[in-house]
Amino acid sequence: MASGTHRSSAWSRLRDHLHTTQLLGGIHSTLYFDQNTAMPAAAGSWRGEQLALLAQQLHERQSSAAYADLLAEAQAELPAEAPPERHHNLRLLQRELRRQSSLDAALVGQLAQAQAEGYGRWQQAKAQADFQLFAPALERLIQLRLEQARQLQPVECQADGAPRSPWEILAQPFEPEISKAQLAQLLLPLGESLPPLLERARSLPPGSTAAWDLGEAQQGQLCDQLLHDWGYDPQRCGKARSPHPFSCTLGPDDFRITTRVVAGQPFSAFLATAHEWGHSLYEQGLPRSGEHWFPWPLGEATSMAVHESQSLFYENRLARSHALAERWYPRFHQALGRDVWGSGQAFWRDLNPIRAGLTRVEADEVSYGLHVLLRYRLELALLEQGMPVAELPEAWNRGMQELLGLRPTNDAEGCLQDVHWSEGLFGYFPSYALGHLISAQLSASLERELGPIEVLLERGEDAQLGQWLRQRVYPLGRSVDAGGLVQRVSGQPLSSAPFLDYLEAKLERLAAG
């Protein structure tokens, strides 16, 4: 009895420690959500201090000698026959301890302040389409991130023991075990495979017969209908507007999403809502009950690529499907007050324009990977190849011309369009493209078990698709990495082949009468 009590004591105290860390993390996320949705611009400096203070406190909780001692005590008390989940949780916690202990607390605070300042400067620069207003903040963020990579270098190595590059180190929090070698196999070939598909799409029949748009209120109503159809629970979920759509979890029963209305792009808010709701559903479905999950690391998302695969599943495989186009065609017709399509097939084509565009978040499934490839190349140039920040706008414009045949007319259309670099989130973008690959491979597995997604949607069995994800994907949490999850669910290693096969088939259907 005494032995059991002692053994559970360290584990219980560790759980309490992690619970409090999650509370502080939730406060940090709440301030971040407010910063992006409601905070007045003049509050930016004070918010930066608030976020810096919280970041330093969170860092202290995950790197202090007392915390290291607590982990060691829990490890010493853990019997060999303990559930494997406990051992796995400790390994994940110890790895994060090594990372956090390698970082200087002052750097953590400086990064938080630089992120807050960077976000404010990015908003101003984007509004005025003037990169020079943002350039100093970006230079500062690059300096700090490179210093972060330098401090983490001693504890970051690949599976074979080889050191990771600065970009690879910064990418680890988003995509554990990712390497430039893996991306050379999975991402870089898309630069050769996608342009021919994009060229083929130029001959697709048009969707609408006339230009059209919807007011902000009408778009909001359609988004609300979509969320209602897909199980939105106002008791646990909240929605807002932001300059850049995102999903954010503030607590175990507090899930937020945002969207935006873009003039002249009446599908933008609708598809962004589907995308962010896919993210939120994944968060809502992560394992949060039981002794091995929340607040333990095993209850967290597998990786950002897996996260993206879930948002892309809802946006592309569901919201852009032919079956849902037939379902939503009369609703958009009614909201618009006139029919500019004439058929569900034409509405479906309008919902799936396959053509090169300037903006990543509005990109179709074919061109999206090329947008990511551009950003990946530029991050390597900025972080590892010595490209000056001042050269970024022109490098961006050249890359857009090379990959997509387009050239932005101003910085807002170009290198200022994404929020990520304003927060120094280098290493994030490839997760988007990997998400497309994962989504396609998981969808192929789902269809082998349940039948074609289109048929299930035609029958109104949307819930069955969500149930499959809740059973096969969501519960895995961080028990595997992205590659392990794909291998476990599909029985095959991650590949671009299912994604390219899907695109080929979709282009054929869009071209049909």
CB 247 within 8 A of CB 283: yes
300 is an active site residue = no
Rounded to whole angstroms, the Cα distance separating 219 from 262 reads: 10
Q: Give which of 404, 382, 385 is closest to 393, Cα–Cα.
A: 382
- Strand-strand pairing, 237-241 and 254-259: parallel
3-state secondary structure (DSSP) of residue 204: coil
Rounded to whole angstroms, the Cα distance separating 333 from 330 reads: 5
In DSSP terms, 258 is beta-bridged to: 240
Instruction: Pull the structure tokens for residue 496.
Output: 């671009």
CB 312 within 8 A of CB 435: yes
Helix and strand numbers, DSSP H then E, in the chain: 21, 3
Longest dimension (CA), the chain: 78
Residues counted in the chain: 513
Q: Give which of 398, 380, 420, 400 is closest to 134, Cα–Cα.
A: 420
In DSSP terms, 256 is beta-bridged to: 238, 248
Q: Where are the beta strands (DSSP E) in 36-104?
A: none
Q: What is the DSSP string of 259-283?
A: E---TT-TTHHHHHHHHHHHHHHHH
Chain centroid to CA 166: 21
Task: Out of 276, 283, 365, 423, pick the active-site residue.
Answer: 276
Residue bearing tokens 């939503």: 328
Q: What region does 292 belong to: left with phi over 0, alpha with psi -120 to 50, or beta?
A: alpha
Instruction: Pull the structure tokens for residue 147.
Output: 């210093």
Residues annotated as catalytic (active site), given as ranges: 276
